[in-house]
Amino acid sequence: MISELHDKLPARERILAVAEEAFLVDGFDGVSIRELTDAAGVNVALVNYHFGGKRNLYMEVLRHKFSVVSEQKCALLEQQLAGLKELSLHQVIAAYVTLYLGSDENALAVQKFLKLISRHLADDDDAMELLFEELIAPIHLQMRKTLGQICPGLDQGKLSLCIGSMTGQIFHYLRFPHAFNSLVNLPEGTSLREAMVQHIIEFSLKGIAEESICNSKN
């Protein structure tokens, strides 16, 4: 049954809102057009009229979801960097890592999103390409531009590899936090997340600093 909030939306936006809730929970194959139209309070013909079918509707839902998350992450990263008196390699790396691991809430949100991707998108090449274009690339390019200002001696390709390395460390931990808990022997009461934040920052800092002399002090 359509919610009171969705009921106030135009038909196209209402379909998108209902479809996003359904697709992100049950995936493309787990949702029928009839279920979507019944929940949105519209007829089936409107899905074809506005989106050209279920597959196009699904891709539009993903595009919207990815772009919203990307805009939020880019805005948060820009906000963190703008608050710094002077950019340094350490501060930029720390800002990027804490974007994903800065709090338990952040980490859990990203973990949930990663599970969604692995469950519904792993075998869908078009959806994965959309994920890269709408979500990964904008954040990556923003980070590469900032790092390039600090480390002008690194070319674009090397900068991208460094960012990819940081991102891989972050997401590997987020995908398998319980495994890390069993492997890393931390003092009692020590937060594994906070320990990983410090490790990734320090590890990445040393790796990037060795590649090039940076403008700012570490």
CATH number of 62-211: 1.10.357.10
Counted residue by residue, the chain has a size of 218
Of residues 201 and 217, the one with the higher pLDDT is: 201
Residue 4 has pLDDT above 70, yes or no: no
| 19-46 pLDDT per residue, tens | 998 998 888 999 999 999 998 889 999 9
Which CATH number fits the domain 1-52, given the four candidates 1.10.10.60, 3.75.10.10, 1.20.1200.10, 3.40.190.10? 1.10.10.60
Tell me which residue of 8, 6, 25 sits closest to 16, measured CA to CA: 6
Question: Which structure tokens are listed for 17?
Answer: 């809102």
Residue 50, amino acid: H
Say what the pLDDT of residue 6 is: 54
| 166-205 pLDDT per residue, tens | 999 999 999 888 888 778 887 887 889 999 999 999 999 9
The predicted model scores a pTM of: 0.84
Binned at pLDDT 50, 70 and 90, residue 215 comes out as: low
Binned at pLDDT 50, 70 and 90, residue 48 comes out as: very high
Instruction: Give domain limits for the chain.
Output: 1-52, 62-211
Say what the pLDDT of residue 5 is: 45
Q: What angle do CA 163, 165, 166 make, to 5 degrees?
A: 65
Residue 2 has pLDDT above 50, yes or no: no
